[in-house]
Amino acid sequence: MNAKLFFQAIAKFAAGAVIVGLLIFLPAGTFAYAQGWLLMGILFVPMFAAGIVMMFKDPELLKKRLNAREKEGEQKAVLALSGLMFAAAFAAAGLCFRFGFLMIPVWASIAAAAVFLGGYALYAAVLAQNSYLSRTIEVSEGQKVIDTGLYGVVRHPMYTSTLVLFLSMPLVLGSILSFLVMLIYVPLIVKRIKNEEQVLSRDLPGYSDYLERVRYRLIPFIW
């Protein structure tokens, strides 16, 4: 096991958990926010388990997933806006809980949690099918076009899974206002996908042919 990679993964995991916790519970003004703890559990427990699996089975993939330094200028802007969106959505949820504003019933949050876990399962399936996945848009040495499994249905199944995850997240927190904030993700991901396809068509042999074979980018029969 790569000790440096292990400690890097643990540090990023811990920092992420602390930051998300602060963004949720500080605006809420209390730790007695059950839906906040529900999100923390379904978000970070599977994330920790996935990290352990990748550490032993595919450390190179874990290394790629930890790398968030974009080289493409357009993508840097998308990531910055995404970060602001997440911060605003979590803070909005905490404030809505604090003041009892536009909150949905607990049973609806539990249903949203089931949808969220379904999105996580889809995300895990994508990771299993594509070992080239990185958090940044780049082409690795020896990379090949993946066109089977989920990639034979839509071009970007990872983004399909993140769409499910991110749009269900504010509902797990019980906040309609937070959900409205998170809808900003839709145009952001559309922009990211279009730029990613330009980069891959330019740098990855065979990707232009793949675009001809697989019509839908994100959601079958829609887009």
Query: Please, which residues have CB within 8 angstroms of residue 198's CB and are 6 or more apart in sequence?
Result: none
- Please give the Cα distance from 162 to 159 (Å, whole number): 5
What's the mean pLDDT in 89-103? Answer: 94
Alpha-carbon torsion angle 187, 189, 190, 192, nearest 10: 120
pLDDT interval class at 69 (50, 70, 90): low
Question: What three-state secondary structure class fits 40?
Answer: helix
- Please give the Cα distance from 46 to 119 (Å, whole number): 11
What's the mean pLDDT in 94-108? Answer: 93
The confidence score (pLDDT) of residue 182 equals 94
What's the mean pLDDT in 84-95? Answer: 94
* Angle made by CA atoms 90, 96, 98, in degrees to the nearest 5: 105
pLDDT in tens, 125-182: 887 777 666 555 556 666 777 878 888 888 889 899 999 999 999 999 999 999 999 9
- Please give the Cα distance from 66 to 44 (Å, whole number): 15
Q: Where are the domains of the chain?
A: 3-213
The confidence score (pLDDT) of residue 73 equals 59
What's the mean pLDDT in 61-88? Answer: 73
Q: What dotted CATH number matches 3-213?
A: 1.20.120.1630
The confidence score (pLDDT) of residue 75 equals 67
Question: What three-state secondary structure class fits 175?
Answer: strand
Given a cut of 80, whether residue 74 has pLDDT beyond it is no
